[in-house]
Structure 1
């Protein structure tokens, strides 16, 4: 397998001891990516080493800002949590104000110094967000100085939300529905008039009986089966050429910078020769998430999540099992496959059976067990914003050092950003 984005060629690595980055997308009303909320989490078992994840993040943010937030968010907006101490600091000089939204945590009081500081930073082009239930009665004092109001679906009774949202809409602030975890919740919030939506509802499987693959998806699946069989390259090339759109899309995506190739691929025969079958299979797997029948802004988040997860698992496998190329290949495949139940709206057990995956891959996808299951569980835990979770146990079981996590995540984010940019 060709190494698609060597860490040696990546930007200067972040030297962030015992931290990883949780990154959760915010989507607009069309399902397109608007921004990411970023939160640095501590992986140390000794919580006494730091005052809190948030206060420790001030120094982390300073390092990240100097190296460029674009590595973590691409062209999207960055939502960064700040407390009063961080708010009063001077780290904002390093942040790109046109791409940064500072989210006030619940401990921020609407005191005169805080309001003065908000007004000062607003004058410099920064924007602010606050969550309604966490600030309660203070929200009214903060409203004139903030641009976004978040509403946590888990922290507010439905009746209260139904009464509050129309009043908030009347203020002209942009509303963000937070912790949206199902399509039903998304539809309700859409009807209420929310502007943006945060949560992993788009990645939740919704099993539809009788759903069939689109013609282009079916062609991709059949082609993947050919690639993994013993047929000659000429037979694979003929199969690709039967679908002109597939041929064009494949050549476009293998020429993305994410492929890490030093030469341009101009023909299908050249692609097969230069890439090899394992590498070709990965690009076909990615293309399933961006196939023409479903292409559009609504599919960008799922493609971004799947490609980031797969690349991160591959990098973790390379770090933990150096020199074992097949292990890294399998880790990528498990990561990219782990969201195909959502993509195809079929149970993962059915997918695993239809694809004829190995027992260790099936164990990872269905039970999160074994080496690849641990990698998948670790990657999934990085995506969540909640405190605690499975990060520490998974890190211990994998014997992975927290020193490398931010570096590997940033490399995965950058790689995925390149993939999505060229795949859609």
Structure 2
């Protein structure tokens, strides 16, 4: 039995050559009528198509149209994907406001292709037409007269036109004469299905990778150690680099070689997608709280001159019970931790453990117990605010908030 299935449908140019494929969610895991369900479906399509199968296996050298919801765009999900391989398809029910406009403009400036799905000309869409690349028209729904009217309305704009739901050869011919550039529909190909087995990710390993990758002073040796010690992480990294969208001149011989070849920017992109894959069913607030706790521990460590990376790891690992849905002792037993780190997390011992107790008390607003070394409570409060802002920034990069 396949763990997942992905639908794809060809998009052809005027000469009926394949221009791209639209990647479609096919499954019953999410209610696509709900905003959060549609968003999770998009996230699942991304992780399955890139991490599991590899984009080349699904669309070959062509581009992939991927549907993005309001939440996906606000989370800047597309920025974790290669701009030369995807088309950001903005769904017709996206709530257009200043934030959506700003984020889509940013994507355009970064070089992403923007397509507006099931387009109907209206005032709310005008700001997006200014920088959209492709407009998709449902010609079955619009009918010939409305289609011609919409084309006239779009003439002042520098956009390509894509006709959806083309069902006959005659339709293709007259739509081509009307000025359409691309075509999609049952006349050419019904959506077909690609199935695959999903290789599970150790959530603790993914969290630890996320912890290290967002350290501004991270070194290749640290990444090599974390990834090489986990078989699934190693497999997924090699699969990503060898089959996704890189022109690798030589075969990758080791994890160190892969990391050196990709560079930190691409490794960070990969780890962000990976984290999404392992945590996609968890509430965003849960991971956000874990990151706030970790960053605040790190900040307290900085303020007293201690090793902040150690404090950060203590903070984030202390949340594993809620993230993995298992007792904290069992979660920690999966990791090669030193005794002092384990005692810091479980018993609040040592400077890092004291910092963790301070952070937890602050989170629960147990002000009488908020104390760490000789730090003023005002400074501790400032560390909390800084940690909230940092967590939001990190999660926006990890396409979860």
Structure 1 or 2, whichever has the larger Rg, is 2
Higher RCO structure, 1 or 2 (CA under 8 Å, sep 6+) = 1
TM interval, short-chain normalised: 0.3 to 0.5
